[in-house]
Amino acid sequence: MNIQAVKQRYGIVGRSELLDRAITTALRVSSTDLTVLISGESGVGKESMSKIIHDYSPRKHNQFIAINTGAIPEGTINSELFGHEKGAFTGATSERKGYFETVNKGTIFLDEIGEMPLDTQAFLLRILESGEYIKVGSSKVLKTDVRVIAATNVNLMDKISQGKFREDLYYRLNTVPIKMPALNERREDIDILFRKFAYDFADKYKTEPVRMDEASKQLINNYRWPGNIRELRNLVEQLSVLSEDNYVNIDDLLKLAPQLANRNLPAKYSEKQNIEEREILYKFLFEMKNDLNDLKQLVFELVQRNNLEMPSLSRSILTSQNPMPAPTYQNDRTQETSFPEPAPYNEYSDKPVLISDNQNFSRTEEVEENLSLDEKTKELITKALKKHRGRRKDAAEELGISERTLYRKIKEYDIPI
């Protein structure tokens, strides 16, 4: 099928590859009865995709209805979708047919499916699996032949993890997924859409179409457009009505829409990062730094008070052609102590050593530190619990994590309380 002809029929403007891919998927799936889940931000044109699927399907001569499930009150949505019997509840003075009965053999588009109540989700799942449903207040099983197209502007997997959406319904709806790109993902279409809306409103209000200078074009191209096409359309209509001149400069644009100056650039983020574990690691590293500073201070005080020679600090200093001058320190009695140049380098000089008063280096102890992140995390949690005598709330506050995360880590590392 010709994608350009489809765009022209439904008033879809743009040359984005992501947009063309979504339209192509909708056309290919239209000839089947597969359930489709359209995802995308609010205002990207998800309903247009549902109309394309219906109009190019064998059901095109039957009824199509679009329902915003998030706008129907929870107490009446079952009656709206499946109907009710007379006297089923207060105010039910007569029998009512639901959408699944009146649109039999047609297509139902369920927008904002993520806002559907859990009990309604169970009824919808039964229709998708067997075509059967029961009216509110009835015990009679009815049959329907309706194709369901659903849409969502939220992440349904997050809803599932929160217990607000059925996992089995998600996989039943998501037989064929279609992702509608946001306007900030198809920036090559912003200028085209602007000009299209400008001509539409010029024809509506009998005026000249508004135009922009280069600085204004750059500004709207850099804006994130959280409201997507709907927000851009509203802006063009405001300019068409409120601007004094048909040629808009950047000052006129910012005066009418100051939010365009906000870039709202996204931060780089990897889903693989575990923020909670990273916070624990940072806490551990900060404490380690403090411990090292205390240890250095202690070593310098011991060297100063006992008139000891400084041991070799690094290979680079000892092998240098021009060694640094020996440092001097001032003790409590204002007596200046000078340290001689270090001894020649040996292969163990950069290991931690225990220095005796008589400079006997015959006995050396190497310290191997466990650098496992899991072990350090476990050690830090154990210290915090011991410090606060097993009080998890105080320990979690000390570690800078939530009490729930601390409880999960205690279970994971099998830490005794």
Q: Model confidence over 230-244: pLDDT tens digits? A: 999 999 999 999 888
CA-closest candidate to residue 214, choices 253, 172, 165: 253
The residues pairing with 142 across neighbouring beta strands, listed in sequence order, are: 133
SS3 call for 109: strand
Q: Can you tell me the mean pLDDT for 284-304?
A: 77
Whether the per-residue pLDDT at 359 is higher than 90: the answer is: no
pLDDT for 314 equals 45
Q: What span, in angstroms and rounded, lies between the C-alpha atoms of 210 and 382?
A: 67
Q: Tell me if 377 sits within 8 A of 342, measured CB to CB.
A: no
Tokens of 163: 């217990």
For residues 293-297, average pLDDT: 80
**Stronger pLDDT, 194 or 336, i.e. the higher one:** 194
* Helix, strand, coil in percent for the chain, rounding step 5: 50, 10, 40
- 228 vs 377: CA distance, rounded Å: 44
Which of 70-84, 315-329, 372-386 has the least mean pLDDT? 315-329
Neighbouring residues of 122: CB distance < 8 A, sequence distance ≥ 6: 166
> What Å distances lie between residue 407 and 275, 277, 316, 341, 377, CA to CA?
16, 13, 46, 53, 13
Question: For residue range 4-39, what is the model confidence (pLDDT) as tens digits?
Answer: 999 999 999 999 999 999 999 999 999 999 999 999
Q: What is the C-alpha to C-alpha distance for residues 23 and 12, in angstroms, rounded to an integer? A: 10
Copy the structure tokens of residue 298: 């202690």
Q: Are 236 and 201 in contact (CB under 8 A)?
A: yes
Residue 199 predicted with pLDDT over 90: yes
| pLDDT tens digits along 115-141 | 999 999 999 999 999 999 999 999 899
- ∠207-209-212 over CA atoms, to 5°? 140
41-59, pLDDT tens digit by residue? 999 999 999 999 999 999 9
pTM of the model: 0.61
Domains located in the chain, CATH noted: 3-181 (3.40.50.300), 185-261 (1.10.8.60), 274-300+369-417 (1.10.10)
Tokens at 401, concatenated? 């994590």
Which of 157-161, 314-318, 362-366 bottoms out in mean pLDDT, i.e. has the lowest?
A: 314-318
Going by C-alpha positions, the residue among 177, 239, 181, 153 that lies closest to residue 14 is 181
Residues in the chain: 417
- Residue 255 reports pLDDT greater than 70: yes
| Angle 158-271-39 from CA coordinates, rounded to 5° | 45
What does the mean pLDDT of the chain come to?
A: 82
Q: Is the pLDDT score of 302 beyond 80?
A: no
The predicted pLDDT at position 152 comes to: 96
Q: Which two tokens stand for residue 36?
A: 């489709």
What pLDDT is recorded for position 315? 45
pLDDT on residue 353: 47
pLDDT, position 274: 56
Rounded-to-integer distance, Cα 157 and Cα 174, Å: 12
Structure token pair of residue 388: 């606060």
- Give the type of residue at 338: S
pLDDT band for position 264 (cuts 50, 70, 90): low
- Extended beta strands in 20-102, E state: 36-39, 64-68, 83-84, 96-97
Q: H-helix or E-strand containing 150?
A: strand 147-152
- The residue behind tokens 């297509």 is 107
Supply 323's token pair.
């060694």
- Contact by Cβ (8 Å): 279, 400: yes
Of the ranges 143-157, 267-281, 332-346, which one carries the lowest mean pLDDT score?
A: 332-346
Q: How many Å apart are CA 48 and CA 28, to the nearest integer?
A: 15
For residue 65, the model assigns a pLDDT of 96
CA 76, 166, 152, 4 torsion-angle sign: negative
